[in-house]
Amino acid sequence: MCDQSDAPPIPDDVLTLARAARHVAVFSGAGISAESGVPTFREVQTGLWERFSAQDLATPEAFESDPALVHTWYRWRAALIQQVSPNPGHQALAQWQRQLGGAGGRLSIATQNVDDLHERAGAEVLAHLHGSITAHRCAECDAPAELAAPQYDGAAAPAEPVDPPLCEVCEEGLIRPGVVWFGEPLPMEAFDAAADAMRAADLILVVGTSGLVQPAASLPLLGMERGTPLIEINPEPTELSDAMHHRLRGPAGKLLPVLVQAVTGEALHAMDGSDGTDDSVERRAR
């Protein structure tokens, strides 16, 4: 487990808010998976996709014009996600969720991420606002489809694009990833559930997101109407920073374990039952 000793200190008023919270709503983005080795959305693409921005590839138009290029991009990303592990940021949220759940409270996670690292850290995710990279359906008839595990080595970008399979139901459409592409509506049920959680929360954490993508980025602001404390965890300023009451400038994988340790009084437990962290977290809890 990575050393937490260089985590930036957490102000006492943030610790006080976290300790008092009974219903925490977490809005997460690509930054929480960065320390697991999953590239964020803003990072430049490599290999087959170096000429494109992620935003160009994540569109129905791109799939229409070059289905093999887009299909292979998602299969490669899925392979990389499969080959990495949740980091202490994911694990800390899962632990806080368990602790609050056991004390009559709750921690709700609404994520923009299409990876399953929150779940693999043992957390329940209320809303995958932009879908899931492990789900698939027909681009024509919407019939769900199962695809075999991607056979790529996540580290090395594939040399050749591969065509997406044909739908076995309508035998016309191509199979596409179950993600929300730019220009497509978000799953209303997930969006509404996330909005309800933001409105009901007594503390909102905005973790690892640039806050650039709408309508998801407006969700944490639903708490503002009710004066709910908003805390941002991100090494960099974002589109949402001005709306935040507290901005913890550092990596989620360093800050969240310290915060959760201070709240729960427990060291970080990795999913594998080991204590998941070295003793440095103890030292930092005030």
Catalytic annotation, residues: 130
Q: How far is the CB of 220 from ligand BV8 (least distance, A)?
A: 12
- Residue identified by tokens 């919270």 is 21
- Single residue of 184, 192, 275, 282 touching ligand BV8 by CB under 6 A: 184
Residues 6+ apart with CB under 8 A from 90: 32, 33, 36, 117, 118, 120, 121, 123
Nearer to ligand BV8, 105 or 154 (CB): 154
Nearer to ligand BV8, 173 or 211 (CB): 211
Binding mask 125-164 toward ligand BV8 (x if CB under 6 A, else -) reads: -----x----------------------------------
- Single residue of 82, 182, 267, 278 touching ligand BV8 by CB under 6 A: 182
Nearer to ligand BV8, 77 or 120 (CB): 77
CA–CA separation, 179 vs 133, rounded Å? Answer: 6
Q: Does 36 bind ligand BV8 (CB under 6 A)?
A: no
CA–CA separation, 198 vs 248, rounded Å? Answer: 20
SS (H, E, C) 180-200: CCCCCCCCHHHHHHHHHHHHH
Q: Which range touches ligand BV8 (CB under 6 A), out of 2-10, 14-22, 30-38, 90-98?
A: 30-38
Interior angle at CA 14, CA 10 and CA 17, nearest 5: 150
8 A C-beta contact, residue 36 and residue 87: yes
Chain residue at closest Cβ approach to ligand BV8: 31
8 A C-beta contact, residue 74 and residue 59: no
Whether a cis peptide bond, with omega within 30° of 0, leads into 86 is: no
Give the CA count within 13 Å in the CB-facing half-sphere of 15: 16
- Single residue of 91, 238, 261, 264 touching ligand BV8 by CB under 6 A: 238
Interface positions, 246-285, toward ligand BV8 (CB under 6 A)? 251-253
**Interface contacts to ligand BV8, rule CB under 6 A:** 29-31, 34-35, 40-42, 55, 58, 112, 114, 130, 179-185, 208-210, 212-216, 233-236, 238, 251-253
